[in-house]
Amino acid sequence: MEEWICQQSLQDVKTRRCISFSPLRARRWSRPAENVLKCNLHSSWRTASAFGCGAWVLRNSNGDALFHGRDAFLPTVNRIVAELQCIVWGLQSLKDLGVLSCEVWSDCNAAILAIEKPLEWPKYQSLLAKVDINLIH
């Protein structure tokens, strides 16, 4: 009986990841609070080819890399779409790895603003919905 209650309470818990952004002038990694995980992600997008790629790394408060990944994305229309694709992919990867709580940092201020105020960024509605789905589990 106790095990069933424990399982039910685990299913009711919804963890929302914290998404923050680092200002563009901050080029060095900064430590998260003690016992907090921090995921830095970044995408690259080239106008000429419209192809994008992205990478993420999850570190603990000591700076030790726990997981990382990199991938190439299909052609996109701009840098913001590439960054949002990278965020969706990074969040899904963290979810697949069982990471329930962490800070996610991006240097793309426009992507962060779109996540914070999705109604003001209707062009990216479908990607922002995917971000939201991966924030809650």
**Lookup: tokens for 78:** 């701009």
pLDDT for res 49: 74
Q: What is the largest CA-CA distance in the chain?
A: 61
- Which stretches of the chain score pLDDT less than 50? 1-2, 4-16, 19, 22-25
Supply the pLDDT for residue 97: 94
Residue 133: predicted pLDDT: 86
Distance CA 30, CA 105 (A): 11
d(CA 19, CA 67): 18
Fold classification of 16-22+35-135 (topology level): Nucleotidyltransferase; domain 5 (3.30.420)
The pLDDT assigned to 26 comes to: 55
Q: Enumerate the domain spans of the chain.
A: 16-22+35-135
- Listed residue (54, 109, 118) closest to 86, CA to CA: 54
> Are the C-beta atoms of 105 and 39 separated by less than 8 Å?
yes
